[in-house]
Amino acid sequence: MKEAGGTITELVKRRFGLWREVVRAGDFVRGSVVMLRRPCTYRGCRLCREGKKHPATYLSLKEKGRTTLVYLPKRLVEEAKRWVGEWRRLDELLREMSRTNVEVLRLLAKRVSKPKGGR
Question: H/E element holding 77?
Answer: helix 74-113
- Does the protein bind Zn ion through residue 48 (CB under 5 A)? yes
**CB of 50: closest distance to Zn ion in angstroms?**
9
Among residues 77, 75, 68, the alpha carbon closest in space to that of 31 is found at: 68
- Does the protein bind Zn ion through residue 56 (CB under 5 A)? no
In the chain, the amino acid numbered 32 is: S
**Applying CB under 5 A, which part among 16-24, 27-35, 47-55, 71-79 lies near Zn ion?**
47-55
Contact 68, 44 (CB under 8 A): no
Alpha-carbon gap, residue 20 to 23, rounded angstroms:
5
Please list every residue from 14 through 43 that binds Zn ion, using CB under 5 A. 40
**CB of 42: closest distance to Zn ion in angstroms?**
5
Residue numbers of the site for Zn ion (CB under 5 A)?
40, 45, 47-48
